[in-house]
Amino acid sequence: MTTFPYKNVLLGALLAAGLPLAVVAADQPDPHNPSPRIAAQRAAMAPLAKLDGHWRGTATIVLPSGETRTLVQTERVGSFLDGSIKVIEGRGYDAEGNIDFNAFAIVSFDPAKQAYNFRSYAHGRSGDFKFKPTDDGFQWEIPAGPATIRYTATIADGHWREVGERIVPGQAPVRMVTLDLQRIADSDWPAAGAVPKE
């Protein structure tokens, strides 16, 4: 019986991606046993378990003109890849029920760097941003030239409140968006619905 040269192909692919062998070896001592790495990622996702489920409420947006818009905001959040990542989809509906805003994000953790990453897709754009769980929620940031757009969320008793502020050194923060959501249901998204073996 011929065996597939898994180890050689894996290392070749990583080296082709520009990773030196020393980095590959340090980050993944045994490519046949990802269990320790996945266990560390699952542990890092544990503080975010309170996000799982379906949420609904309002998003209040302050436009540059000072005008305020309000959308019906929904979020669905769940774990994927054996609980090692968190996925989030947000939808904002206008008064007619049309989707005015749609975003998708993946929260992950790199045990080698001991750092979280927030990969966001919205408005035809994408990016990787700083993310950290807090005692009562999470915070993530988008660099914007001399400013930083900072989103701070608090989650307690089925209530998710998140504010987005534009922060410029030496100036008072300017609030741009406020989410005020209630947890409305459990969810098996996105893990449910996988294609079975047969």
Tell me the pLDDT tens digit for each residue of 147-169: 999 999 999 999 999 999 999 99
pLDDT band with cut points at 50, 70 and 90 for residue 25? very low
Between residues 75 and 25, which one has the greater pLDDT?
Answer: 75
String of b and e for 91-114 (b: at least 16 CB within 10 Å)? bbbeeeeeebbeeebbbbbebeee
- At 195 the pLDDT is 94
Least confident range from 24-38, 95-109, 142-156: namely: 24-38
- At 27 the pLDDT is 53
- At 64 the pLDDT is 86
User: Are residues 38 and 50 both part of a single domain?
Assistant: no
User: Are residues 97 and 129 both part of a single domain?
Assistant: yes
**Both tokens assigned to 56:** 């609904």
User: Are residues 78 and 163 both part of a single domain?
Assistant: yes
DSSP 67: -
Residue 194 lies in a domain: no
DSSP3 helix / strand / coil % (the chain, rounded to 5): 20, 50, 30
Residue 198 lies in a domain: no
- At 30 the pLDDT is 72
User: Are residues 32 and 57 both part of a single domain?
Assistant: no
Residue 32 lies in a domain: yes
- At 8 the pLDDT is 39
DSSP string, 82-108: TTTEEEEEEEEE-TTS-EEEEEEEEEE
User: Are residues 30 and 114 both part of a single domain?
Assistant: no
- At 15 the pLDDT is 39
Mean pLDDT score of the chain: 88
Q: Which whole number is the average pLDDT over 5-11?
A: 39
Residue 72 lies in a domain: yes
Between residues 29 and 189, which one has the greater pLDDT?
Answer: 189
- At 29 the pLDDT is 58
- At 32 the pLDDT is 81
Q: How far apart are CA 48 and CA 76, in angstroms?
A: 13
String of b and e for 179-191 (b: at least 16 CB within 10 Å)? bebebeeebebbe
Please, how many CA atoms are within 13 Å of residue 170, restricted to the half-sphere of its CB? 1
Q: Which whole number is the average pLDDT over 16-40?
A: 64
User: Are residues 87 and 37 both part of a single domain?
Assistant: no
Residue 99 lies in a domain: yes
Kindly tell me if the per-residue pLDDT of 20 is higher than 50: no
